[in-house]
Amino acid sequence: MKISEEILNNISSLSKIKIDEKIKSDLIKDLESILKMVEEMNKIDTSGIEPMSHPLEEADNLRKDEATDEIKRDEYQKFAPQTDDGFYLTPKVIE
């Protein structure tokens, strides 16, 4: 699979990671070599095989739907980059 600059820009935007123009061509080479290795998968016929998303068949230990004291806003906001009166601050979103 060839990765065009357009595809790279698209995944950069989807993953919200800014990519430096200077490294784009090297990065494309690396991503292409990884995808080439990954495409070995095409050698095997998987028709009729169920996808496996998880190693455990019974992984559904949901806890009781009861309020806990896990969420401690003041404590958790102590290490946030910027907060004000219990809110997380970001640059203005709506003009």
Partner 1 sequence: MEDLSKLSLVEQINGLKSKKFSSIELTEFYLKRIDQEKVLNSFISLNENALKEAKKSDEKIAKNKSSSLEGIPIAHKDIFCIKDQKTTCGSKMLENFISPYSSTVYEKLSSSGTVNLGKTNMDEFAMGSSNETSFFGSVLNPIDPERVPGGSSGGSATAVAANLCSFATGTDTGGSIRQPAAFCGITGIKPTYGRVSRWGMIAFASSLDQGGIFAKNALDAALALENIAGFDEKDSTSINKKVPPFFNQAKSKDEEHVVGIPKKIIEDIKDDNVKNNFFESLDILKKSGVKVKEIDLKNIQYSLPVYYVIAPAECSANLSRYDGVRFGHRCENPKDLDDLYERSRAEGFGEEVKKRILIGTYCLSAGYYDAYYLKAQKIRNLIKQSFMDAFKEVSSIMMPTCANVSFKLNSIQNPVEMYEQDIYTIPANLAGLPAISIPSGKINKLPLGIQFIGNYLEEGNLLNLSNKFQQNSNFHNE
Based on CB atoms, which residue is closest to partner 1, 49 or 67? 49
Based on the shown chain and the rule CB under 8 A, indicate whether residue 22 belongs to the binding site for partner 1. no
Based on the shown chain and the rule CB under 8 A, indicate whether residue 4 belongs to the binding site for partner 1. no
Burial 9-30 (b: 16+ CB within 10 A, else e): eeeeeeeeeebeeeeeeeebee
- Lookup: tokens for 4: 């065009």
For 88, the enclosing helix (H) or strand (E) is strand 87-88
Based on the shown chain and the rule CB under 8 A, indicate whether residue 39 belongs to the binding site for partner 1. yes
Instruction: By CB under 8 A, name the one of 2, 4, 6, 56 that touches partner 1.
Output: 56
Give residue 13's identity as a one-letter amino acid code.
S
Based on the shown chain and the rule CB under 8 A, indicate whether residue 52 belongs to the binding site for partner 1. yes
Based on the shown chain and the rule CB under 8 A, indicate whether residue 73 belongs to the binding site for partner 1. no
Distances (CA, A) of 88 to 17, 71, 72, 77: 21, 15, 14, 8
Binding site residues, partner 1, CB under 8 A: 3, 7-8, 10-12, 14-20, 27, 30-31, 33-44, 46, 49-56, 59-63, 70, 72, 75-76, 78-82, 88, 90-93
